[in-house]
């Protein structure tokens, strides 16, 4: 079926929740995709930060094909080949940079998306606070303490945690929320990187706070990193109250910043980390990982999923995590990411560049529309993304090279010039 027919069918039968670009992508390899007209495009958005190994990496394709021939799905009623290995690899990655004596086992819940991983983190934070309060209560007062335990989750202004009702409530962007009221309550927003405001919130409402949930580097808002001081204040304030620090690493995790997880750039270790996007390089999979002492709050029946952690999902994730390790992709991310920021900053129309590793953004000078640049970039063979009227965001595959960055900068130079 040609592009025109596909476009007509989608326009009639697919909900219009995305303003789709006028192109149909039909195949790809590495950094490149090919559209239905045979045009090649360099991909600097990678399925919204998902295709970490690039398109159709042989290790993922082989893992998917081999597993599909063996077993696709059986459900969480059973043990599943490769799942323990993936969970252990993630646990080991959480401990990178942690003194041996302080290392802990992390346990994971397997989900299918970022929003679901965050839903799991929200439920676990509240249940943990309740069980902790009950355990500390005097005999006979446990049920009362359980019911009255802290339940508020502190989130950051301009955050993005997903599109389900609870994760939308955690997404402190009133324009996204208003049409869908009522949303679940129990979230309070504070400005990112304002330590005084966070301290004041804890002074005023500390007794009712069970967690802080934040993106170490806000992605959808246009790549806005937390400061190390703010992350450390969040860690201190939560620890003082027995509350949890939850890092949403759906976008900045799994080597996107060159480190296994974004939080490792800020000198803190959280209690819960949510993962999705790049972990299986395109196969839909998410994880909510928690220190084992926190994860212990969940008992059979407290949480679940039909599809999460299927045979196909975990074999994909295992192939991806092994490839990232074996092909030294972290080094590539650090080197090419630094090169990308330096080259973007040299462009005449760019006023600010932000980012870590291969999670970067460029703010354009006043009067230049980022969405317009994205549209015109298609004609130059580039898949780009704008997070706002004047911000371009770059989330290429982690295998992106300096030559790819050169091609990007050359084309962008022409578009901005």
The residues that touch ligand PLP, with contacts defined as CB under 6 A, are 48, 113-115, 118, 160-162, 215, 219-220, 248, 250-251, 276
CB of 308 to ligand PLP, least distance (A): 12
Helix orientation angle between 311-326 and 329-345, rounded to the nearest 10 degrees: 70
CB of 103 to ligand PLP, least distance (A): 26
CB of 118 to ligand PLP, least distance (A): 6
* Residue among 35 and 271 whose Cβ is closer to ligand PLP: 271
d(CA 262, CA 270) in angstroms, rounded, equals 11
* Residue among 142 and 177 whose Cβ is closer to ligand PLP: 177
Closest-by-Cβ residue to ligand PLP is: 114
* Residue among 219 and 260 whose Cβ is closer to ligand PLP: 219
First to last CA, the chain: 38
- Which residues does residue 355 pair with via DSSP β-bridges, in sequence order? 360
Q: List C-alpha distances in Å: 30 to 118, 270, 295, 404.
A: 29, 33, 37, 11
* Residue among 48 and 416 whose Cβ is closer to ligand PLP: 48
Q: Which of 44, 101, 122, 102 is nearest to 361 (CA)?
A: 44
Q: Are the beta carbons of 32 and 288 closer than 8 angstroms?
A: no
d(CA 291, CA 282) in angstroms, rounded, equals 26
CB of 148 to ligand PLP, least distance (A): 30
CB of 115 to ligand PLP, least distance (A): 3
How would you list the strands of the sheet with 350-356, edge to edge?
350-356, 359-364, 391-394, 385-388
* Residue among 115 and 149 whose Cβ is closer to ligand PLP: 115
* Residue among 259 and 343 whose Cβ is closer to ligand PLP: 259
CB of 46 to ligand PLP, least distance (A): 12
């Amino acid at each position: 079926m040609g592009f025109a027919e596909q476009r007509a069918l989608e326009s009639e039968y697919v909900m219009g929740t995305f303003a789709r670009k006028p192109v149909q992508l039909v195949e790809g390899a590495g950094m490149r995709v090919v559209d239905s007209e045979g045009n090649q495009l360099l991909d600097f958005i990678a399925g919204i930060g998902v295709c970490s190994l690039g398109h159709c990496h042989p290790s993922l394709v082989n893992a998917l094909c081999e597993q599909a021939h063996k077993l696709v799905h059986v459900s969480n009623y059973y043990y599943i080949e490769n799942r323990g290995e993936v969970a252990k690899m993630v646990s080991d990655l959480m401990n990178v940079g942690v003194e041996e004596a302080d290392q802990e086992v992390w346990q994971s819940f397997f989900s299918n998306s970022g929003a679901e991983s965050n839903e799991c983190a929200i439920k676990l934070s509240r249940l943990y606070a309740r069980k902790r309060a009950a355990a500390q209560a005097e005999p006979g007062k446990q049920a009362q303490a359980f019911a009255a335990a802290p339940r508020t989750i502190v989130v950051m202004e301009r955050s993005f945690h997903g599109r389900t009702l609870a994760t939308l409530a955690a997404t402190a962007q009133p324009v996204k929320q208003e049409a869908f009221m009522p949303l679940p309550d129990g979230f309070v927003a504070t400005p990112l990187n304002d330590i005084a405001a966070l301290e004041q919130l804890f002074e005023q409402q500390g007794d009712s706070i069970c967690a802080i949930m934040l993106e170490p580097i806000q992605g959808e808002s246009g790549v806005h990193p937390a400061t190390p001081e703010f992350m450390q204040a969040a860690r201190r304030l939560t620890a003082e109250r027995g509350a949890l620090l939850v890092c949403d690493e759906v976008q900045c995790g799994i080597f996107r910043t060159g480190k296994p997880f974004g939080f490792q750039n800020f000198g803190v270790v959280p209690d819960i980390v949510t993962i999705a996007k790049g972990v299986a390089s395109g196969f839909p999979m998410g994880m909510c990982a928690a220190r084992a002492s926190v994860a212990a709050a969940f008992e059979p029946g407290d949480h679940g999923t039909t599809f999460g952690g299927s045979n196909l999902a975990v074999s994909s994730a295992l192939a991806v995590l092994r490839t990232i390790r074996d092909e030294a992709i972290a080094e590539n991310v650090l080197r090419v990411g630094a090169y990308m920021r330096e080259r973007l900053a040299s462009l005449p129309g760019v006023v600010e560049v932000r980012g870590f590793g291969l999670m970067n953004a460029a703010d354009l000078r006043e009067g230049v529309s980022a969405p317009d640049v994205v549209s015109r970039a298609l004609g130059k063979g580039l898949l780009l993304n704008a997070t706002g009227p004047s911000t371009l965001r770059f989330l290429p595959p982690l295998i992106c090279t300096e030559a790819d960055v050169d091609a990007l900068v050359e084309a962008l130079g022409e578009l901005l010039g």
